[in-house]
Amino acid sequence: MDKIRVTNLTKRYGKVVAVDSVTLSVREKEFFSLLGPSGCGKSTVLRCVAGLEEPTEGEIYIGETRVNSTADGINIPTEIRPIGMVFQNYAVWPHMTVAENVAYPLKVKKLTKEAIGPKLEVALHTVGLDRLFDRYPSQLSGGEQQRVALARALIKEPEVLLLDEPLSNLDAKLREQMRFELKDLQRRAGIPILYVTHDQTEALAMSDRVAVMNAGRIVQVGAPAEIYAQPVDRFVADFIGLMNFIPGRILSRNGEEVTVELLGGHRLKVADRSGLTGACVVAVRPEDISLDTTAPMRCRVAAFNYSGHLIDYKVEADGSVLRIQTSKNEVFEEGEELGFAIHRAMLFAQPEVQSP
């Protein structure tokens, strides 16, 4: 059963359309991410689910409760929605101790001290803050404040957890560590998460499914591997991971096998279902290109970055600049003439050139 169901959600601010008829569902125990560049409307969707923004149109269900319906004039206030929420800036109340912060949702439910005690202990233990219970937020690190926010969101045992870019204020190392912890915590608690982020590695690493948003719309929904391997359009291909875009031309089509011409007449066979003809864009991941000395397609090494587990090359081939990532031990020097081979590629329509 779906734990969150959003149907045809639209949010307009005056004439500006922030969210344009978005439909999505988050399943039981699912980690679902909304991913997109800033200003794409992902946070607005989350805030509508939380009830912090009122949709202009659409319906939202949390569990079996209809929390929003513009058609029937329903907009249940945030405070009675069965949600837990973590904010980008943690929003830990600076005038309360860790324990007071975490216990607050139970306090407003008017639970007795005796009833709160054990639950508080469990919540603090879950996020590993047992020993810091009497500290004030100003005495905590960013990561610890983040855990306080998480414990506070979990303690009321909500049906869903809403996370709004919760890791973006942490430093790189801590962020990676928190990714694992968050994922692990979600597994243990078995709670569905709706997660908003602009960081594609974060979304790919943690999510069961990802919805990529652009300009207020959902462009693609799918498992991380699916989105990485089969982006539906150029935007997704460009936004997720690194991608080389090479201009090409389709010469012939044989079922799903297409022959394209690129980079000064070289031919490449590509699996493609788009039905494109003529001029197109060939998209190639950097790791789907290999370098050697003999291959027929030629290039020249313009620059390279050594980053431990891989080598990141920038090469010039027939006027195009390509990124190539190899884990090979052989290191090519700047200016060296080489051959390269493309092992996998996707085809997209050429972007429409707008006449000025």
The residues that touch another protein, with contacts defined as CB under 8 A, are 50-52, 65, 73-80, 83-85, 87-89, 91-95, 104-105, 108-109, 149, 152-153, 156, 162
* Minimum CB–partner distance for residue 16 and another protein (Å): 17
113-126 vs 172-189: helix axis angle to the nearest 10?
A: 130
Nearest approach, Cβ of 259 to another protein (angstroms)?
A: 55
Q: Are 190 and 175 a contacting pair, CB within 8 Å?
A: no
Q: Which residues contact 182 (CB under 8 A, 6 or more apart)?
A: 150, 163, 166, 167, 206
Give the whole-angstrom CA distance, residue 19 versus residue 49: 13
User: Considering all CA atoms of the chain, what is the largest pairwise distance in Å, rounded to the nearest integer?
Assistant: 78
- Nearest distance, CB of residue 99 and another protein, angstroms: 14
Classify the phi-psi angles of 249: left when phi > 0, otherwise alpha if psi is within -120 to 50, otherwise beta: beta
- Rounded distance, CA 330 to CA 132, Å? 51
Report the residue number, 85 or 315, with the smaller CB distance to another protein: 85
Closest CA to 34 of 173, 172, 209: 209
Smallest gap from Cβ 218 to another protein, in A, equals 24
> How near is the Cβ of 153 to another protein at its closest, in Å?
7
Q: Please, are residues 312 and 242 in contact by the beta-carbon 8 Å criterion?
A: no
Pick the closer one to another protein by CB: 100 or 336: 100
Does residue 258 contact residue 252 with C-beta atoms inside 8 Å?
yes
Query: Shortest gap between Cβ of 61 and another protein (angstroms)?
Result: 12
Residue whose CB is less far from another protein, 155 or 221: 155
Of 43 and 220, which has the nearer Cβ to another protein?
Answer: 43
Structure tokens, 89: 């800036």
Tell me the closest approach of the beta carbon of residue 85 to another protein, in angstroms: 4
Q: Which of 238, 243, 242, 211 is nearest to 224 (CA)?
A: 211
Name the residue nearer to another protein (CB basis): 164 or 272. Answer: 164
Residue whose CB is less far from another protein, 162 or 246? 162
State which residue, 55 or 231, has the beta carbon closest to another protein. Answer: 55
- Residue 294 CA to residue 82 CA, distance in Å, equals 62
